[in-house]
Amino acid sequence: MSTHSRRISKYELLELLGRGPVTETWKAADTQQNRNVAIKLFHPDLHADPDFVARFLTEAQLIASLHHANIVQMLDFQVSQPPEAENLTPYVVMNYIEGQTLASFIMNTSRMGRFPPGTEVIRLLLPISAAIDYAHQRGVIHHDIKPSNILLGKAAPASASTPMLTDFGLVQPLKAANCSLSSALYISPEQVQGYVDNNRSDLYSLGMILYELFTGTLPFDGDDPNDIMMQHLSAVPTAPSLINPNILPAVTAVIMRSIAKDPTARYPSANAMIGSLSRALNISQTEKLGQPYPIDAMNIPTYIMNAQIPGMTPSSSPASALPPGGSLPSSPSATPVPSAISGSGRDASPASMTPQLQVTPPDTIAGALPFVQPAMDHAKLTPLLPNAVAQTPAL
């Protein structure tokens, strides 16, 4: 991507933070507000999709409407065409959060064999679970939850940090074809199959983070994203207690249910997952899960404009619920819904109200599991727990 002028609109590009399959993320200076921001630029080759700009504007508006103390706020979104450029450049602007990510925290603790206590795990993931459920309740699925997309800031010690979820994306949710290595480590089986509109995909990714925090490793690993994705589809994960003998059996059960290959066997919400983990660890929750935190008035977007591109009209994104049986139609079509983009600049380190989609399953991989089933409550899911761990070695 060309950034000869190193400036887009009122933003001066300062430092390239990283590059993903479809975006570049920069630290930039907002010259009007006199503050640093993070700006994500979309690669021009995405414009081959004639509906891209309309969907970008529609979905950016939805994500910008999320106001939660544990979600990095989107401040601005535009479609720009610098004088020297031939192509349009869609971009989004977010608060710039300086400091470490959960990925660096894990690298310096669990990956070194220094496992954080259960209270610290709950402290880190309790607000993230609230942010995930808050977004789901408003029809937004993240699609790329991983440690590098959870920011901890610069607070010292780390126990004073405020975890924040970032990199909600736009237009193209995480798919196998454009999956980076760091995303492949946490991708759900149904995303590998091409089904991207299921809340419980986010919960699977959060379960992978749990596994890593308690064991210092991941159940599926390698150097080839395609190989890792095949493991998510068919390989049986090693029971966490066989890696870290200090893990309680009840904690192992929570983790294994969280990463069940069948979405209906997982927890129904991030709230339910972290609540079960708290009980397994015998830790009292001091905050109510799944509720939006107080909004900081300074984080409310200050510069949001829906750019109107000549000849482009934002298209509606109708979303109809799947039939009660959860079956999918057979014609190869799909209706886009608000979704998330993969590959922010933080990929550099390796490492109900939700709209449903009437989609056609793409060419499926042999032996893969079905993707969407009717929502099930906690009580109905409980009997499925033995199935989720049936193939693991006895604890």
Q: Answer whether 285's CB lies under 8 Å from 392's CB.
A: no
CA distances from 66 to 75, 135, 218, 306, 343 (A): 11, 7, 31, 16, 20
Q: Decide: residue 377, CB within 10 A, 0-12 exposed, 13-18 middle, 19+ buried.
A: exposed
**What CA–CA distance (Å, rounded) separates 326 from 358?**
10
DSSP state of 338: S
Please say whether the beta carbons of 58 and 314 come within 8 A: yes
Is 30 labeled as catalytic in the residue annotation?
A: no
Choosing from 144, 167, 197, 202, the catalytic residue is 144
Q: Which two tokens stand for residue 217?
A: 């490793």
Let me know: does 118 contact 214? Beta carbons within 8 Å: no
Backbone angles phi, psi at 63, to 5 degrees: -70, -35
Q: Where are the alpha helices (DSSP H) in the chain?
A: 52-64, 102-108, 118-137, 181-184, 189-193, 199-215, 225-234, 240-243, 249-258, 270-280, 378-381, 385-389
Catalytic residues: 144
